[in-house]
Amino acid sequence: MQNVIVPINAFDRFEVLKKGQTSFIRLIAESGAFGIEIRRELLSEQDPPLDSMRKEIEQYQLFTVYSAPIELWKKDHGLNEKELNELFHEGIALGAKWIKVSLGHFHKGQSNVRELDAFLNQHQGIQLLVENDQTLHGGNINQLTSFFESASEQDTPVKMTFDAGNWYYSGQDVDEALSKLSPYVHYLHLKQVEDDHGEFITVPLQKDGSQSWERVMSSLPSEIAKALEFPIEPKEKTKEFIQMITESEALSCNS
């Protein structure tokens, strides 16, 4: 099953900023990936305009996700429409099919999901994804559940990016998150997080049947798109990690 996406932030940040995100497109494609996740926070002077980047991505027939570190709901609980507008215009130029943001400060009594619904109806060619981030407000299970329940009641076309590792940073229980949020998951960010002398760090995936990322992956439908969001060093190991995920999917399908 071809559904593994490689986010640019999996690679060395210094090299990405020095060489540009475009320089990784061929590597990702030749590693057997289904898609690429372009990161707004890593765009630099080394990158061409977004429409030029789109043409290069299209040459390799990669699916495009555009990720930006912006919050969907502002501190006053209102919709962050100005930044969303800018982001969607950039996503269109890039040819992105999915745009990913974090939840922000959603409050059921004050945040107007109908405003979000009206906005998304103007951009029906792009799927908005909301991810659990590493903050106490944007990575909170109850807040995320409240948001997705509210969106579901309004038939608002928004889905979830489930980051398997961010729950540790936000102090949440990953099994509870799976239990409450799995109906909304459309995209899975795979990362393994370990406690290094009291500090959480993201490490490359290891496969031994007991890792948290394996449990998360096996708990969700195998066809869900998966991103390798952990340090890939050297970058040439990208192909190995894609094969690891593909083989794990095959095993879960056959079991």
Give the domain ranges of the chain. 4-254
- Tell me what pLDDT residue 253 has: 58
Taking CA 89 as the corner, what is the angle to CA 41 and CA 158, rounded to the nearest 5 degrees? 85
- Tell me what pLDDT residue 64 has: 98
What confidence tens digit (pLDDT) does each residue in 53-87 have?
999 999 999 999 999 999 999 999 999 999 999 99
252 falls in which pLDDT band (50, 70, 90)? low
Taking each helix axis as running N to C, give the angle between helix 81-94 and helix 50-59, from 0 to 180 degrees, rounded to the nearest 10: 40
Residue 198 pLDDT > 90? no
Coil vs helix vs strand at 22: helix
Residue 1 pLDDT > 90? no
Taking each helix axis as running N to C, give the angle between helix 141-153 and helix 113-121, from 0 to 180 degrees, rounded to the nearest 10: 60
Contact 186, 159 (CB under 8 A): yes
Work out the mean pLDDT of the chain and round it to a whole number: 94
CA distance 192 to 146: 26
Pick the CATH number of 4-254 from 3.40.50.150, 3.20.20.150, 3.10.20.600, 3.30.413.10: 3.20.20.150
76-104 average pLDDT score = 98
Residue with tokens 């299970």: 141
18-39 average pLDDT score = 97
Structure tokens that stand for 202 in this block: 């993201």
What confidence tens digit (pLDDT) does each residue in 144-171 have?
999 999 999 999 999 999 999 999 999 9
Centre a 10 Å sphere on the Cβ of residue 255 and count the other Cβ atoms it contains. Answer: 6
